[in-house]
Structure 1
Amino acid sequence: MGVKGLQCFMDQCCPEACETVNLRQVARDHAAKIQGDSSSTAHNTGPTLVVDGMACLRHWYSCKDWICGGQWKEYVDVLKRWVEAFTSAGIRLVFFFDGVVEEKKRAVWVKRRHRVNGDISKIFCHIKKYGEQPGGQNFCLPSGLATFTPFALRSLKQEVFCSVQEADYEIANYARQNNCIGILGQDSDFIIYDSAPYFSVGKLWMKNLTTVMYNRHKLCQNIGLTITQLPLLACLLGNDVVSEEKMQHIRNNAIEAYREKNPAPHSCAPQGQVVYAVSQLVSRLCSKEEETDVVPQSLALSAHQRDLLKKGICSYCLSEPRSPELDGLTASSSAFEKHVSPEILKACREKHVAAEGFMLYSVVCEGVTECSNTLEDEEDGEMHPQALVYKPCRQRIYGLLLLLGQDGQSVDCPTIKEWFVFPGNHLKEPEVVHPVPVCLPCDQPSLDLLWFSSGPEVSALRLTAFLSIFDCMELFNLYGVVEDSLLAALCLVTYIILQVQTLSQEDADAYLSQAVCLRLKTSQELQQIELPFLCSRAVQLGSLYVRGLSHLLGANSASGCPLPSAALMPWHSFDGRLFHSKYLLAHSGTEKPELLVDSDPSCLSLFLQLREKLAETCMKRGRVLQSRPKVSPPSPNTTPVDVRRDRHTGWSPVGGEGWRGRGETARGHRQGRGWTDRGEERSDRSEYGNRERLWESGGHTGGGGGHRGAGGQQFDSFSPEWRDGGAQNMTRPQQQSRGRPYSNRGRYQLAPRWSQPPAPGT
């Protein structure tokens, strides 16, 4: 969120502090400076720009389709071009992503999650009414974007870090300690930190690498404060640590005093007058107090408010060694030191920081994990929330990490606190989840053996552990026979089909056929897939699959990585538009499987092989897949399109206005048509300016603004939120759900009788 209203104040009331800069020139000037400084540590690295990855997600994901689950191959291409634009200018990039949700910010996190639930409700209302992707303020990032983006950047040979505390702090501290040219992000907290210059990604023009630098020194000149007084100003205005409500009485008094002394106040927005009023208060208080006082004694605060304000001010302190007030913020002792070795703890932290692992650090070192909003329709009584679908899987991951090698008789049984967002969960407190042991064909192997030993027996044990988490040991013999990405996809589809009893043969065929066909398609071909309409159920299934990929990643990390992480990335096994097209075709009533794989003989053979293995595994669990075609076009009473079946695509539009002119998703891809051609359609998404500045030269569509979600090693957020004031608050419309609330649907009935892993070899 940043500091409430500060960046808007600088834009509107302090334009002299908003300097347009060319990052190429900034890099050249910096390089010349360090060449003349023999003591500089930046000689070997060159000009370095620290990038707040979470704030850039909405700027990076500029693909036309976001609602079907993500156009991942195209997204990786966008990242590649973005990185190349900076490296060609001689700028080294270092990326940071959120790795934790600090408990002091949990209330803010929960508040945002509830707000996004209201947005999601509106999205599904729009899909069911019009059969198309909504635009404007209802834009949402695909699920899993913050989880998989660090891996994408690492595949592009970039340096990526995942935070173990507040990411803003780590970014500012890194930039200061490493003499970086600046911080690229969208958070006014970077104005407060006494660190490197702060550049706005929201006002970045990729064509010439120009943006706006928010100059904290000129801000201080304008409001009459020193750099060291900015943290107190930030906390009194309101930020993520000290909420706006907590200091409302202080601001009210400041505004009253300001208006008495300034009968003709500055001609700027009301929030600007608040900043001037609080700045005058801070200046007056600090002139009376000794500089050693963190919180001025003359402030009318309760003991709790004073302590909170002190924590907020100290959170901006970047000095080394760190002050005693901050010791509590960086405690890194594990919640489960009794259950894992010191070597495991060290490896979990190292993998987390290097953005190589997933779930490990949050589970083993924090004992808490979270998952943000997912595109799920609360009115759909057939579909279970992904949080509950994957709960048995997570319990086995917890068991593998915390119970492996133990007799299970310990009275000190570990539990994990889960903050998972889904309809019906009010997030008033975390759900306490118990680990479930994973049975392996070895005499109580330890996690250290699984992670650190080598040899063919250990490799087989790792794969066994991975497949046991998903109860898919029957797939063991496919290892090395099919591509790793297809093995992972089959494992995930099998788990989903077994867990969600309402899924049909058509759903399984859609999942498998798109995974098989994706390998042969370029990102350009995927962009040109035309969808006659959108199906809300297919939207949910797409998000369910991508969330499952993050669980595959967590299970793989916990098992010692039997599969390469690259095989679990969505750009190797999933594309939203491709899946949606296969879903519509599978449910259209076609009985020819070759049509699902574009009549490609090699793809057909592979598809049938995977399909047969899925049916065999399900049959052993008593799960018989049945055919239940259920796609129907939008009601002709609400959308001007007549949809008829076509033998190749399943559905084709004729008559009326036609789906080519009805919306962003239905229009199809138009090469070279960026959001500069869309006018107001995209410009209303951000309070920071037009999105066409972000990627003029890329020739792709889409856009958006930055946000901080649940981040990094968490199951991430896609909400359209901003840290400097937030997005427009859209509450959920009052409506009666057609299905029972998820919290009342028997959340623990999802795990069937076969939830315990079978004995190996059965």
Structure 2
Amino acid sequence: MLLFLTLSLIFPPQHPSVDLTILPQSSVMGVRGLQGFVGSTCPHICTVVNFKDLAEHHRSRHPGCTPSVVVDAMCCLRYWYTPESWICGGQWREYFSALQDFVRAFTAVGIKLIFFFDGMVEQGKRDEWVKRRLKNNREISRIFQYIKSHKEQPGRNMFFIPSGLAVFTRFALKTLGQETVCSLQEADYEVASYGMQHNCLGILGEDTDYLIYDTCPYFSIRELCLQTLDTVMLCREKLCESLGLGLADLPLLACLLGNDIIPEGMFESFRYKCLCSYTSVKENFDKKGNIVLAVSDHIAKVLRLHQGEKKLEEILPLGPNKALFYKGVASYLLPGQKSPWFFQKPKDTITLDRQVISMSSDPESKQEVPMCTDSESKQEVPMHMNPESKQEIPTCTDPESKQEVPMCTHPEMKQKLPMGTDPEFKLEASICTNPEIQPEDPMNMGPETKQLVTMVSDPEILKVARTHHVQAESYLVYNVMSSGEVDCSNTLEDELDQALPSQAFIYRPVRQRVYFLLLGDCKDGTSTCPAVKEWFVYPGNPLRHPDLVRPLQMTVPGGTPSLKILWLSQEPGIQARRLDTLLACFNLSSSKEELQAVENPFKALCCLLIYLFVQVDTLCLEDLHAFIAQALCLQGKSTAQLVNLQLDYINSRAVQLGSLLVRGLTTLVLANSACGCPWRISDFMPWNVFDGKLFHQKYLQSEKGYTVEELLEQNRSRLTKFHNLKAVVCKACMKENRRIVGRTHWNSQHTGRWGRQSPGSHRTSSGYSRSGQGQPWRDQGPGNRQYEHDQWRRY
């Protein structure tokens, strides 16, 4: 923090209206204590640099090569989200514009950007993930307390990124023509590997793990001034010099300090002993000392005495945590790198949770296929490489190439990927085969690669899913098919609002039907289908265990098609079958004709609204008016108009409804990609159908009793569209015995509890099953439960 305050005197923040110095520190990840140490004790390792100058220097050293920067996108989300309003569900048009400015700034100086997103949470880091989610829950509770007390958005010190930001950022960047990669493991490892092997200018992010990896230079996104392209480079060589360590010692230091793999308390007593020993030698040293300096001194002066002669467990108090510690150190070794701290031979291995950890490289890889290069595009696959691969790694990419990243996959799949070919994204699912690539030696593969058991046995369809996952063209599909485990982070939900359920419960039936589609072959119903582990955050869930959710059988007109048909077939009429399957996921097959008549981009929105209003009885007519009116008015608004829109006050229920709709849009991404993309992805991107402030305005107006004409801002051309969309939603709901009524009428007939108890109801919820039996959704004990069909019984 001191570092930022110092550097802010050198150049101002990118956006004067946003004080980045008070963003929550939970966004800073990596090695515990290292960020503060660098800012307070070791600021000289930080150097102000300019990307334009770096790019020119790179071109002079590598003529014909385009300088590239690999971006850890997950670290950058807070920096990118610059709209003043964040509480209402997201200012997506403004956000898209900010991303556009970011890309243009680097493109203008000839720098290529490669964006990496986390594609999964590694098992070893699940505890840390849970810890952060529970911390976020407490922050969200304070946010809603503030809203109810002050009727306004909290200050930036309580900033919480809008729901779905990471998911939609991928698609926004693809729309902007950027190379976007979703990782097959923790993204920081793939980022560091890519940067090292592709001779990148550096890594742009905010994670002290990048000071530990022996890779290309590390630049701070927090310190980036977009107008000048100045930022701070954190030099790991200078860090080593200050600590008296070598580059190869940094992984050991990181694990002794604690990181996302090694729990903070694991070496607490060891660090205290190091500190006591260090302070006793340093006469004028601050009594509080510094853990980083003390542990580094112990490594340099004590542990090195036995380096190469004794195993780490003989000179460190590893105890029962030996395997976890070795895994932590090995997690920093990039392809081809070795650690001098491993007494074993490079290919010796240790067992951890029935998995094999290689001591030489790639501890967490899920890759089965090494890099391949398309001779036409000269672009490499953005995945970490097998160190044993004999293939040469080019040091630059062809700046003229406009082709997207090719993937190594099954040769028969060539020209067979209709999924994700939305022209708006300017890409095709490029496929290449390389006969020179040899099968990998099992002993040189990471632990996840050796684990051959997946939820889906068809290798061809699994590779198609993986291709789309890596190219960031799908959401959760590959996670379900490969490991049967999915997660969803926090949502702005009020745990004290008993009338509105969590989005995790509302959209669970859709996910269950998608699981049925993806896992397939459940001819006798769902009893033989494996349960999917859901790590979904919702109020009251301690996240001690995942929810075990069984696939839910669905009815598709003409029968449920196979994934090969949905994903690979180009036969006439296949698009109609894809649409039938998508609507069946939302249990809306009977409304196909009405939805088909709706114009884009409102088709997908109507589907979502019908589902929501069928599922949640506490949604009323005023809510429907607000949702439809904001979507129609958004089409005629400029970004500047949306920026200048002012709200009278903030309503906590409207905040939750905004987040609920956006989570519904991410659910549409999941279902659409699982069904082979019958709908254009652009039709349910939030910048085309939703604006948080605009919805909030319409909600407040609707609540005050504004007429439809007033909601539509006296625009007659929107009036016909409004009534048509409303009629489609209301008619579809009536088919499910759900009559949408006004709030006054609703208050007189409802108790405020979610779910309908009528025996004939087809609604599914965690509160009430189809038979009308069950417990209120808030009262169900979360944890290790198994849910079958719609009747979510205790396991």
* Fold equivalence (TM over 0.5): yes
Q: Which amino acid aligns with 1:370?
A: D
* Superposed counterparts of 1:167-566, under 5 Å: 167-265=187-285, 270=288, 273-291=290-308, 295=312, 297-302=314-319, 304-320=320-336, 324-325=358-359, 329-330=364-365, 331-332=448-449, 337=454, 339-403=456-520, 406-408=522-524, 412-478=528-594, 481-566=597-682
What is the CA distance between 1:341 and its match in structure 2? 2.0
Q: Which amino acid aligns with 2:113?
A: L
1:606 to partner: Cα distance: 1.0
Give the letter for the 2:70 counterpart: V
Matched, 1:74 2:74: no
- State the alpha-carbon separation in 2 of the partners of residues 461 and 196 from structure 1: 48
The 1-side partners of 2:788 and 2:650 are apart by: 30
**Which residue does the alignment assign to 2:729?**
614
Structure 2-normalised TM-score?
0.76
Is 1:24–2:52 an aligned residue pair? yes
Counterpart Cα distance in 2 of 1:242 and 1:363: 27
Deviations 1:574-607 (A, max 9, x none): 00011111111111123x3222222222211111
CA distance in 2, matches of 1:744, 1:574: 32
Q: Structure 1 stretch 133-142 or stretch 570-579: which is displaced more?
A: 133-142
From the superposition, tell whether residues 48 and 629 of structure 1 become closer, same or farther in structure 2 (CA, over 3 Å): farther
SS at match of 1:484: coil
Deviations 1:300-329 (A, max 9, x none): 220x22222111110000133896246662
Tell me by how many angstroms 1:179 deviates: 0.3
Is the 2:606–2:725 Cα contact (8 Å) retained in structure 1?
yes
Letter in 1 for 2:297: Q
Q: Are the structure 2 counterparts of residues 278 and 505 from structure 1 closer, same or farther at C-alpha, using a change threshold of 3 Å?
A: same
The structure, 1 or 2, with the larger RCO (C-alpha pairs under 8 Å, 6+ apart) is 1
Contact 1:286/1:296 (<8 A) preserved? no
CA contact (8 A) 2:552 2:788 kept: no
CA distance 1:226–1:578, shift in 2 (3 Å): same
Q: Is the 8 A contact 2:526 2:551 kept in 1?
A: no
How far does residue 416 in structure 1 lie from its aligned partner after superposition?
A: 0.1
Q: CA separation in 2, counterparts of 1:518 and 1:754?
A: 39
Deviation at residue 418 of structure 1 after TM alignment: 0.5
SS at match of 1:506: helix
Report the Cα offset of residue 249 of structure 1.
1.5
Mapped partners of 2:490, 2:636: distance in 1: 32
- Offset at 1:527? 1.6
Q: C-alpha separation between the residues in 2 aligned to 1:172 and 1:293?
A: 30
CA distance in 1 between counterparts of 2:88 and 2:123 reads 32
Contact 1:333 1:365 survives alignment (8 Å): no
Aligned to 2:739: 624
The equivalent position to 2:778 in structure 1, one of 738, 742, 748, is: 742
Q: Secondary structure at the match of 2:116?
A: strand
Q: 1:609 to 1:745 in 2, by over 3 A?
A: farther
Query: What is the CA distance between 1:629 and its match in structure 2?
Result: 5.5
Distance in 2, matches of 1:263 and 1:321, equals 39
Cα distance in structure 2, aligned partners of 1:225 and 1:627 = 69
Task: After TM superposition, give the deviation of residue 334 of structure 1 in Å.
Answer: 8.1
Letter in 2 for 1:275: V
CA distance in 1, matches of 2:455, 2:508: 24
Q: How many Å separate the matches in 2 of 1:746 and 1:337?
A: 26
The C-alpha deviation readout for 1:217-247, integer Å capped at 9, x for no partner, is 1111111000000110111111111122101
Amino acid at match of 2:213: Y
What are the Cα deviations for residues 25-50 of structure 1, in whole angstroms up to 9, with x where unaligned?
Answer: 11111111112xxxxxxx44x11011
Which runs of no fewer than 5 residues in structure 2 stay unpaired?
Answer: 1-28, 339-346, 348-357, 366-447, 748-774
- In structure 2, relative to structure 1, the CA distance for the partners of 1:12 and 1:328 (3 Å cut) is closer
Return the alpha-carbon distance in structure 1 between the equivalents of residues 333 and 301 of structure 2: 22
**Does the 8 A contact of 2:331 with 2:362 survive in 1?**
no
1:58 lines up with 2:78 in the alignment: yes
- The match for 1:152 is 172
SS in 2 for 1:380: coil
Counterpart contact for 1:470–1:495, Cα < 8 Å: yes
Sequence identity (%):
42
Counterpart residue number, 1:12: 40
CA RMSD of aligned residues (A): 2.7
Deviations 1:413-446 (CA, angstroms, capped at 9, x unpaired):
2110001111111111011000012222225531
**Would the alpha carbon gap of residues 743 and 98 (structure 1) be closer, same or farther in structure 2, given more than 3 Å must change?**
farther
* 8 Å Cα contact 2:567-2:675 kept in structure 1: yes
One-letter amino acid of the counterpart of residue 391, structure 1: R
Aligned match of 1:579: 695
Report if the CA contact (8 A) 2:549-2:788 is conserved.
no
Change (3 A) 1:216 1:296: farther
8 Å contact from structure 1 (residues 51, 94) kept in 2: yes
Query: Secondary structure of the equivalent of 1:428?
Result: coil
The counterpart of 1:601, out of the listed 698, 708, 716, is 716
Task: Answer yes or no: is the 8 Å Cα contact 1:335–1:367 preserved in 2.
Answer: no
Q: 1:141 to 1:421 in 2, by over 3 A?
A: same
Can you give the 5+ residue segments of structure 1 that lack an aligned partner in the other structure?
A: 36-42, 633-738, 756-762
CA-CA distance at 1:751 after TM superposition: 12
Post-superposition offset of 1:203:
1.0
AA in 2 matched with 1:545? L
**What amino acid is aligned across from residue 732 of structure 2 in structure 1?**
T
| 1:329 match: secondary structure | coil
One-letter amino acid matched to 2:250: L
Measured at CA, do residues 433 and 75 of structure 1 come closer, stay the same or move farther in structure 2, by a change above 3 Å?
A: same
Number of positions where the alignment pairs a residue of Structure 1 with one of Structure 2: 635
Assess, with a 3 A threshold, how the Cα gap between structure 1 residues 595 and 455 changes in structure 2: closer, same or farther. farther
Q: Which residue of 2 aligns with 1:712?
A: none
Deviations 1:636-678 (A, max 9, x none): xxxxxxxxxxxxxxxxxxxxxxxxxxxxxxxxxxxxxxxxxxx
Distance 1:743 1:26, change over 3 A: farther
1:661-708 deviations in Å (ceiling 9; x for gaps)? xxxxxxxxxxxxxxxxxxxxxxxxxxxxxxxxxxxxxxxxxxxxxxxx
Report how far residue 294 of structure 1 moved. Answer: 7.1
- Are the equivalent residues in 2 in contact too, given 1:285–1:296 (CA < 8 A)? no
* Contact 2:610/2:729 (<8 A) preserved: yes
